[in-house]
Amino acid sequence: AQTVTQSQPEMSVQEAETVTLSCTYDTSESDYYLFWYKQPPSRQMILVIRQEAYKQQNATENRFSVNFQKAAKSFSLKISDSQLGDAAMYFCAELNYGGATNKLIFGTGTLLAVQP
Amino acid sequence: DAGVIQSPRHEVTEMGQEVTLRCKPISGHNSLFWYRQTMMRGLELLIYFNNNVPIDDSGMPEDRFSAKMPNASFSTLKIQPSEPRDSAVYFCASALSGFQPQHFGDGTRLSIL
């Protein structure tokens, strides 16, 4: 069964600093996608970044980048130049492609606090 | 472009009442998903539609829950009768296809008294 593990329930970072959120996953599939979603207190689920498993190059979106280690099944999110608006719950998620259900499996989340 | 639209944003009702949650996916998206978020269980997929057809409803908790998608622009999730343990935030999400990024609505916070 697919599982996604976020081992850091809470993290804190100073404004303008860099923080890395960890995520590991477990799948037997060869085709899959990985995502990071952000959930601020407003409870919206906002897509931050996406990584296709077949791509070796790490995805980057402005201040957000990932470190994708396929062999280790690790998918960490790095936030550079942290801003107060980055404070939120961050969820890592995996999507297997090609099965009967293209189901997103979420981790339990990491609550990120940004200190001014 | 408008995102996924859910209504109502909040719902408070008494145990035993019927509850209907509504969702309008992003135009052109042919995959629709209903999720439930609770503190205890996190985010769980309840049901997945592709081209208006339910593909996987294995996450639907029990027969009190039902979901429909009568057309490409509308879906409902119904709970009848509702119970206090159904209290949660319910999200609807849509995607261009099953493996494309899912875009979430703002969710419905449901409280069953």
Cα–Cα distance list, A113 to A40, B62, B110 (Å): 11, 37, 27
**Sheet containing B74-79: which strands, arranged edge to edge?**
B5-7, B19-24, B74-79, B65-71
Q: What is the pLDDT of residues B43-81, one digit of tens each?
A: 999 999 999 999 889 899 889 999 999 999 999 999 999
Q: What string of DSSP letters covers B55-105?
A: EE-TT--STTEEEEEEETTEEEEEESS--GGG-EEEEEEEESSTTSPPEE-
B 49-68 → A contacts, CB under 8 A: 55-56, 58
Q: Contacts of residue B4 in chain A, CB cutoff 8 Å?
A: none
Reported as a single tens digit per residue, the pLDDT across A99-110 is: 556 678 999 999
Contact call for A91 and B106, based on CB within 8 A: no
* pLDDT tens-digit series, residues A7-31: 999 999 999 999 999 999 998 887 8
Whether the predicted pLDDT of B3 surpasses 70: yes
